[in-house]
Structure formats: structure tokens, C-alpha cells
Structure 1
Amino acid sequence: MPPRFETARFHVETGPGSLFTRVLHILSEPVRLKAHGAHVTERLRQRGAPLETLTRFDPEGWELVSAEARTDTGKWVKSTWRVRADGRDWWVVIGLGNSLVTVIDVDPRRRGRGEGIITEGSLYARVDAVNAELMRGA
């Protein structure tokens, strides 16, 4: 099934700042992530992921890596966080409503700054403006 909308990925080190301010505002407290749906439960099983640890989100001990925003609205839809669990580094993708989207066992040196990261341009500017406006109303 194709996605309902297109998204663009941004890295925490290259911004836009307002997008990451919004993600950190929304995910500012520890919360239990919901791991529902066939995709995420299959990935957890396939990758031998420590479910209890990876569903206990705590922004104090987790590192924000990237965020994705809708290309049509500029609004944040999911973010990727790094956490160490069971002796491995994991990227945990968190969607709206504190839902666990997927988990990826990653090399500790991996930083997530690949070629798909948006660092400039009109979409970057729009995402920055939209999230700055949303934060003014927060």
C-alpha cells in the first residue's frame, strides 16, 4: 500500500531549527510507545529487538537524529531517535500519537546524514516557517 502522503527527511544537525524545536516540544516527556500493526511487530521480531526497552521512550536518554515532515503541509509526522539497548544501538522511529513505526539495529558510528536529507531550498524554508508558526501557537 503506497503512503498517504510524501515526506521529506531533515537531520537534527542541519535543521530547520523550528522543526526540531517542535519535535522536542511534542516529545518532551517519557512515554510508553504503542507498538501496534503488522509492520512494526514483524520488524521487532525479525531484528530481535528488546520490546520493553524500545517502547519506553525517554527524551533524557535518547538522542534525536532526524525528523520527517509532510511535503504538502510542512508538518512533522515522525522522528528517528537513537538509543542503546541490550548492547546495541537502535534507531527508533516514532510517529504521531506516540506510535512506534519501526526499529533499526544500527552501527554506533552511523549518523543518519545520507543523501536523502534536505538541507536547503524552498521545501526547507516552508517546513521552517510552518513549524515556527506552530510553535508560536503552542
Structure 2
Amino acid sequence: MSPRFETARFHVESGPDSLFTRVRHILSAPVRLKAHGTHVTERLRQRDAPLDELTRLDPESWELVSVEVRTDTGKWVKSAWRVRADERDWWVVVGLGNALVTVIEVDPWRRGRGAGVITAGPLYALVDAVNTELMRG
């Protein structure tokens, strides 16, 4: 099944700052992530992931890596966080409503700055403007 809307990815090192400020504002307190659905439960099992540790989002000790936004609204829909658990490095992808989307074991050096990351242009400007306004609230 294809997604209902198109998304684009932004990296914490290249902004826009307003987007990452908003995500950190909304996910500012520790929370238990919901691990429901076939995809996420399969990935957890296949990757022998430490479920308890990877479903306890702690924004103080987890590192925000990237955020995906809807290209039509500029609002975030998923965020990827780096955490060390079970002596391994993980990216934990969190969706809206504190839903665990997937977990990926990664090498410690991996930073997520791939070619698909948006660093400038009209979409960057839209995302910055939308999230700046949302933070003014």
C-alpha cells in the first residue's frame, strides 16, 4: 500500500531549526511508544531488537537524527532517533501518536545524511515558515 501523502526528509544538522525545535517541543518528555502493527512487530522480531528499551523514548538521552514532513503541509509525520540499547546502536522511527514505526540497527558512524535529505529550496522555506508559525502558536 502506498502512502496517502508524499514526504520529505530533513536532517538535524541542516535544519530548518524551527522543525527540530517543534519536534523536540512535542516529544520533550519520556514516553512509552506503541509497538502495534505487523510491520513493526515483524521488524522487532527479525532484528532481535530489545523491545522494552526501544519503546521507552527518552528525549534527554536519545539523539534526534532526522524528521520527515508532509510535502503538502510542511508538518512532521515521523522522526528518527538514535539510541544505544543491548550494546547496539539503533535508529528508532517514531510516528504521530507516539507510534513506533520501525527500528533499524545501525553502525555507530552512520549519521543519516543521505542524498535524499532536503537542505535548501522552496520546500525547506515552507517547512521553516510553517513550523516557526506553529511554535508561535
Q: TM (normalized to structure 1)? A: 0.99
Shift of 1:99: 0.4
User: Within 5 Å, which residues of 2 pair with 1:9-48?
Assistant: 9-48=9-48
1:13-55 superposed Cα distances (whole Å, 9 cap, x missing partner): 0000100000000000000000000000000000000000000
SS state of the match for residue 120, structure 2? coil
Please name the residue that 1:93 is paired with.
93
Please name the residue that 1:59 is paired with.
59
Aligned length: 137
Shift of 1:77: 0.5
Distance of 1:102 and 1:134 partners within structure 2: 27
1:35-90 superposed Cα distances (whole Å, 9 cap, x missing partner): 00000000000000000000011001100000010000000111000000001000
1:106-133 superposed Cα distances (whole Å, 9 cap, x missing partner): 0000000000100000000000000111
Please name the residue that 2:106 is paired with.
106
SS state of the match for residue 43, structure 1? helix
Identity of aligned residues (%): 82
> Structure 1: which 5+ residue stretches go unaligned?
none
Q: TM (normalized to structure 2)? A: 0.99
State the superposition RMSD in angstroms.
0.4
Distance of 2:37 and 2:136 partners within structure 1: 34
Distance of 1:114 and 1:40 partners within structure 2: 23
Please name the residue that 1:77 is paired with.
77
Shift of 1:103: 0.2
Shift of 1:12: 0.2
Please name the residue that 1:5 is paired with.
5
Distance of 2:98 and 2:33 partners within structure 1: 5
Distance of 2:51 and 2:28 partners within structure 1: 21
Distance of 1:134 and 1:7 partners within structure 2: 19
